[in-house]
A and B are shown apart, each in its own frame.
Chain A
Amino acid sequence: MDMSQYLEIFIDESKEHLQAINEQLLELEKAPEDMAIVNEIFRSAHTLKGMSATMGFDDLANLTHQMENVLDGIRNHKIAVTPEILDVVFQAVDHLEAMIMAIAAGGDGKRDVKEVVEQLKRIEQGEVPSSAERPSNTFSVPLRQTYGEFEYNVLQQSKEQGFSAYEIRVKLRADCLLKSARVYMIFEALNEAGEVIKSTPPVEMLEEEQFDQEFLLTVVTKQSAEQLYERLMKVSEVEEVEVVPLDIDRRKETDGAGEEHETALRQQAAAVQEEKGKTTEKNVAARQSAPPNKTIRVNIERLDILMNLFEELVIDRGRLEQIARELNHPELNETVERMSRISSDLQTIILNMRMVPVETVFNRFPRMVRQLARELGKKVNLEIIGAETELDRTVIDEIGDPLVHLLRNAIDHGIETPDVRRASGKPEEGTVKLKAYHSGNHVFIEIEDDGAGIKREKVLQKALDRGIVSQQNIANLTDKQVYELIFAPGFSTADHISDISGRGVGLDVVKSTIESLGGTVTVDSEEGKGSIFSIQLPLTLSIISVLLVEIQQEKYAIPLSSIIETAIIKKEDILHVHNQQVIDFRGKVVPLVFLKDIFEVPAAAAEEEVVSVVIVRKGGKMAGLVVDSFIGQQEVVLKSLGNYLTSVFAISGATILGDGQVALIIDCNALIK
């Protein structure tokens, strides 16, 4: 069977599952007792295994299988979750990722995973990579339920009445389709013979198929173990049954229910346990009650085509609106208005389809940071802010690598080791803040660390050594200019070549990648306090709201997102500071930018008594753009000026107005210094 047509879907889905596993593993590390998380991971791993086996990627399937075994152990409380075990599992996930990547790149997904498989096997057999305090072979003694006081009473009473208690492990076949039906039949079979007094997982979960293949039951009956065994094996799709008599007295002893206070303690513990169980169940319930989001996969190209077609529609809409205004025909007006409303709804939907929260990039970072910090022996807390900020899909695909680089940089070069931090009076744990937010027509992503900061002298020395600056220039450089040097090609400040970020690929690569996306990257730092890298990226929103303005005969569009407000100002209110004309705007000094001069608009108009000013901002800075008149607000389609006219100063693109003419869109960021 030709699988190639499914390959793309396989790769996509595998990536999603791996991502889910990664996230859930991190969650698990925080809450090692939460079995709901383990179940989630297990489910993803299980699906992944099935898919890769079907597609014929055996290495992938084998490794996943091994991982699944370990997860199963965790789920059945045979293996305790420790950071060491998670390290190995993470490692396995890394391998899986690498294999998927290889497959996506056209490879066969083969990879040497013996070592990690070996490690997983050892874990599965109960060997904890370090601090081995658990019994070495928990796997072969899986049959052990814990009982509460009430259950002991029941067991005790039934024993007195001549019943015997058995613990039963039932394993269903892996390909069992109707697990809940089998569970029902098993319970039926046992209830005929006696009474099931306890099951792990609980009955409700069993009925909802919230288990993999195995579950434990405790039964009181007058029948023998063999009879029970026979009964259960008659149920179809049961692979294996194990029946072990339960010695209630001895169990109680070993469970240590003798001492009064100990019982109390145990009860408390049990209560806590129960509480936990409840919340987990609640989680499960909540997860189940939320209807699954139905999605389909759509090729991004089709979305692009849809977008292009819609842009055409928006231009025609503008034209229609203009015609309707001119004709002033009531019925036409009404129809055009309706059409405008519908098309703006349509617009929102189409735009949203292309937008993806940066979360999809950010969510692999906690994992990476954790690993890095462990490798480097540093304590790092990664704070992610604004993960819901949305960016166009095309930008999302590209920013992953630069961000990884900057984060590695912050952790490797920025954050100090715990003892150094303590010595300088900082908390042992360093903080790296990853923050995304919208501002104007751009998305900003900041990576801030509270580490050592950039040492001016060191940077200068390095830059001199590498011939990036000359001796004469040094004195004149501002701090900011010095910091910018680290983006120069062939620059690396780390004293030693480390595995983390000193592999010869410098920050210049980051800079060039971001610039190729139409963005910029800057750095600011304070020695001893930390550094902050700021990335500014275009939203690549193709339809934006603008304010149309007129400068002489020319029309320009200013993105509404950059505008704070518009104002009409009297000539005499314009002040002069250092050859710069400024105005006092609500108590702030705002420099004026005369667009007429900037854009070299031909022909000077007669001087007027008042000037129209559009107040725009970029981050915390503001400027007043002086125009001749305001035309109005409009939705326009952002179009590029084409490949021939690249990087025109202060123009971010063009748009087609209702009358078919082209208006240029002003890039306010370029006008604010």
Chain B
Amino acid sequence: MTAIQGVEWKVIAFQLKDEEYAIPVQYVRSIEKIQHITRVPRTAHYVKGVINLRGVVTPIIDLRERFGFPSVPYSEQTRIIIVSIKDFEVGLIVDAANDVLDIPSSSMEPPPEAIGTVAADYIHGVARSGKRLLILLNLEKVLEK
């Protein structure tokens, strides 16, 4: 995966454990503070439940649990990033949402062999922005069941 199209990528960067991740901004509907989540019984462990997102019942996935990271209590910084992909909307719980960045496609690299603990499948590539290293997520894979 060497050539990723587009001159520039606009991404939303967020914190998860001690790494910074990014998803393309066009998938992002909104960023919400943590709120009451209604548990849905007998679903995958990383599905935290559903929230009322302005009248739409939206499922919530805890990205930490999805990637098998140890879970931490939610804090003031915890955010839910609502993403819309294919025909569904899902909220992703992340430790903190950082900022919106433009990444020139030239700074994009394929994922190194061993990167963190996230299975390489979920990763689109890595990008450098100044001193920061961003891990670009492959949302479709992340949301696969």
A interface with B by C-beta (< 8 Å): 311-312, 315, 554, 598-601, 639-645, 648-651, 654, 656, 660-664
Contacts and interface: CB of A to CB of B under 8 A. Distances in A.
Contact of A645 (B50, B56, B86): B50
Nearest to B145: A644
B38 A642 contact: no
B40 A645 contact: yes
B52 A645 contact: no
A599 B42 CA distance: 7
B38 A664 contact: yes
A635 to B, nearest CB: 16
A641 B57 contact: yes
A418 to B, nearest CB: 53
Given A641-B50, A643-B88, A662-B51, 7 more contacts: A311-B55, A554-B38, A600-B41, A644-B88, A645-B50, A645-B59, A656-B57
Contacts of B51: 662
A432 B51 CA distance: 48
A648 B38 contact: no
Contact of A662 (B43, B50, B88): B50
A649 B42 contact: yes
Given A642-B89, A644-B90, A651 B57 contact: no
B47 interface: yes
Given A643-B87, A644-B90, A644-B143, A662 B57 contact: yes
Q: Considering the complex of A and B, which 3 residue pairs feature the smallest CB-CB distances, nearest first?
A: A599-B41, A643-B88, A662-B38
B87 to A, nearest CB: 5
Interface of B: 36, 38-43, 47, 49-52, 55-59, 86-90, 143
Tell me if B's interface is mostly helix, strand, loop or mixed.
strand
Contacts of B40: 641, 645, 648, 651, 664
Given A644-B59, A644-B88, A656-B57, A663 B47 contact: no
Nearest to A656: B52
Given A654-B57, A661-B36, A662-B57, A645 B47 contact: yes
B83 to A, nearest CB: 11
Nearest to A311: B55
A636 to B, nearest CB: 12
A654 B50 CA distance: 9
B43 A645 contact: yes
B52 A661 contact: yes
B59 A656 contact: no
Nearest to A639: B57
A651 B41 CA distance: 9
Nearest to A601: B41
B41 A648 contact: yes
Contacts of B86: 643
Contacts of A656: 52, 55, 57
B17 to A, nearest CB: 24
A540 to B, nearest CB: 16
Contacts of B49: 662
A173 B120 CA distance: 83
B88 A642 contact: yes
Given A641-B59, A642-B57, A648 B52 contact: no
Contacts of B90: 642, 644
A643 B43 CA distance: 14
B28 to A, nearest CB: 16
Nearest to B55: A312
Given A643-B87, A643-B88, A654-B38, A648 B55 contact: no
A603 B52 CA distance: 24
A189 B39 CA distance: 87
A656 B36 CA distance: 12
Contact of B43 (A639, A648, A654, A661): A648
Contacts of A664: 38, 40-41
A368 B41 CA distance: 46
B139 to A, nearest CB: 12
Nearest to A551: B41
Nearest to B143: A644
A426 to B, nearest CB: 48
Contacts of B38: 554, 654, 661-664
Contacts of B47: 645
B117 to A, nearest CB: 24
A648 B57 contact: no
Residue of A312, A599, A661 most packed against chain B (CB within 10 A): A661
Residue of B41, B51, B88 most packed against chain A (CB within 10 A): B41
Contacts of A599: 41-42
Contacts of A315: 55
10 contacts: A640-B57, A642-B89, A645-B40, A648-B40, A648-B42, A649-B42, A654-B57, A656-B55, A662-B49, A662-B52
